[in-house]
Amino acid sequence: MTNRPPLRALHAFEAAARHGSFKAAAAELGVTPTAISHQVRLLEDICGLKLFQRRPRPLVLTSAGARLFPILRNGFDLLAGSLAAVAEPDVQAPLRVTSPNAFASRWLVPRLPKWREANPAVPLEIIGTDALLDLRAGAADVAIRYTRRPPVGFAGQELCRDSFFPICSPRLLASDGRSIERAADLLRYPLIHFDWMNRDPDAPTWRRWLATARSIDPDLIPDKAWDLSFREELHAIDAVVAGQGIAICSDVVVGRELENGSLVKAHPLSLPGYGFYVVWMHHSPRSAVIESFLAWMRTVI
């Protein structure tokens, strides 16, 4: 291996040549002007040539110094760029987004073409699951959490909150031929239930909705049995879309269907839902693209 000149001496010379001053170079490198002068003299001894003309002011490069300076400057710039490229994640790597199944399927996936239009160089990997993937272990880059309060220990923002209404297909109501005038009228139709995996006692379920509705309609039976019950929220929504009954659904998750009229609110009484929070690890190396993703979500909410 060939002998390499001391890196400190190369740094000292490059900084002094760039600033035209030993004092400014010393301030940049956190040493004294005397130390800069010593390192420059060491490099001159190695080269066997003077690199600066020793004048009081300004500091002037000799012809040898003028040849060496751009080589070192470009070399240091190349080294810094190479290190940055190694440290920064591949911008082509998919941004891994974990989301509750129903939100991913009914809200996020239909809007993905708009993401591709706005960000063609950033592919997404959507991980739809009702399990909480561990961001600290690197299971995903960003998570959409559905909870009452902001998740602790993460960077993030609330995207929106939802409300729950009795939702059905307008075909179901048309088949009966009678309008819904009061909460008890809903009992003429099959009620569709789905399990809440978080076991929240205040979850917006049929049982809670019927108990609340009884305060405005005393004839309502609060403990009516469900006609259809599903483990998965998505399956319950599919049954509602198919006209099989009425379910208590999120106005965010089925927002597109409510907007286009394929689903309707069977009754105006609602229950409060939860917040959709976009969260990621503090100091994530993908923070910039994550924040772009959050900003995009706000434009399509």
Span 88-132, pLDDT tens digits = 555 568 999 999 999 999 999 999 999 999 999 899 999 999 998
Mean pLDDT of 212-236: 86
For the domain spanning 95-161+276-299, the CATH number is 3.40.190.10
Mean pLDDT of 275-300: 93
Mean pLDDT of 248-257: 97
pTM for this one?
A: 0.69
The domain segmentation of the chain, as residue ranges, is 7-87, 95-161+276-299, 162-273
Which tens digits make up the pLDDT trace of 137-165?
889 999 999 999 999 889 999 999 999 99
Q: Which CATH architecture has domain 162-273?
A: 3-Layer(aba) Sandwich (3.40)
Mean pLDDT of 242-263: 97
Q: Which of 31-35, 193-197, 239-243 has the highest mean pLDDT?
A: 239-243
pLDDT at 210: 92
For the domain spanning 7-87, the CATH number is 1.10.10.10
pLDDT for 1 beyond 50: no
Share of the chain above pLDDT 70, in %: 92
Q: Kindly report the average pLDDT of the chain as a whole number.
A: 90
Strand 95-99 versus strand 142-147 pairing type: parallel
Which tens digits make up the pLDDT trace of 164-223?
999 999 999 998 888 898 999 999 999 999 998 767 888 999 999 999 999 988 878 766
